[in-house]
Structure formats: structure tokens, C-alpha cells
């Protein structure tokens, strides 16, 4: 069974840092693109960034709103994707989801982890 489990969310002060994890199971992690998508409270979905698969050199892509502050990395030996978030702002408050892409479709989402940036 495919599973994506996010963790690492919590309360952090503006300007602080946090690292989210997305632990995957039930599939060959290195074969898949994995995205981070966030959703601010009561708002819509916002694409945050992507880690491509091993065949595509683990290339990363970022939304302009997080580029230079957020970094995506992955450890295929642990089947885990990370989102390192630095210089956090109040507008980064959101539920963060990791999602799996397979053959041109986003077929699995985790349950999300809540990040709250507040003093």
C-alpha cells in the first residue's frame, strides 16, 4: 500500500527555520517525482516545489514565493523527502502536503503537517 506521511510541523517564530519530512512506503521512491503543496488556513492550494526522480537527476524546482528560502532534498535510502524552510514568514503558515507523481498524474497525497509561523 502506498503511503506518504508528513512530519515536522509545528509553531515557529518569524525568521526561524523548520525541516519537514515526507516518509514514503509501498513503492520505489527513487522512481517518482515528489511535490510539496501547501494550503493556508481556509485558502486554496499552492504548489511549493518538486524533486524529480533519480532518472532525472533529482532536479528541484521551486515556487517564486519560496525560492532561496526553502530547499528540497531526498534520501532514497530512507525513502524520505525533506523540505528545509528558512527565514519563515507569517504567510508560510499552512498545511504542507507531499504528493507523488506517476506517469503524468498526481496520484497520492499525504495527510499533511501544519506549520504555524507566529510570535
99 bridge partner residues: 35, 109
Q: Return left, alpha or beta for 92; rule: phi > 0 is left, psi -120 to 50 is alpha, else beta.
A: alpha
Q: Write out the three cell numbers for 2.
A: 502506498
Residue for cell digits 506521511?
5
Nearer to other proteins, 23 or 63 (CB): 63
Cβ distance to other proteins smaller for residue 43 or 55:
43
Q: Which of 31, 45, 54, 75 binds other proteins (CB under 8 A)?
A: 45
Q: Is 97 in the site for other proteins (CB under 8 A)?
A: yes
47 binds other proteins (CB under 8 A): yes
DSSP 104: T
Minimum distance from residue 65 beta carbon to other proteins (Å): 9
Q: Is 83 in the site for other proteins (CB under 8 A)?
A: no
* Per-position x/- string for 49-78, each x denoting binding to other proteins as judged by CB under 8 A, each - no binding: -x----------xxxx--------------
SS3 track for 5-34: EEECCEEECCCCCEEEEEEEECCCHHHCEE
Residue ranges of alpha helices (H) inside the chain are: none
Binding interface with other proteins (CB under 8 A): 35, 44-47, 50, 61-64, 97, 101, 104-107, 109-112
Amino acid at each position: 500500500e502506498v503511503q506518504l506521511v508528513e512530519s515536522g510541523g509545528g509553531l515557529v517564530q518569524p525568521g526561524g527555520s523548520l525541516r519537514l519530512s515526507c516518509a514514503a512506503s509501498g513503492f520505489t521512491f527513487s522512481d517518482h517525482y515528489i511535490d510539496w503543496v501547501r494550503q493556508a488556513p481556509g485558502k486554496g492550494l499552492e504548489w511549493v516545489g518538486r524533486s524529480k526522480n533519480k532518472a532525472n537527476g533529482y532536479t528541484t524546482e521551486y515556487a517564486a514565493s519560496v525560492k532561496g528560502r526553502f530547499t528540497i532534498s531526498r534520501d532514497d535510502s530512507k525513502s524520505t523527502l525533506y523540505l528545509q524552510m528558512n527565514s519563515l514568514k507569517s504567510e508560510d503558515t499552512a498545511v504542507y502536503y507531499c504528493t507523488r507523481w506517476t506517469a503524468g498524474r498526481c496520484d497520492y497525497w499525504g495527510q499533511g503537517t501544519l506549520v504555524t509561523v507566529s510570535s
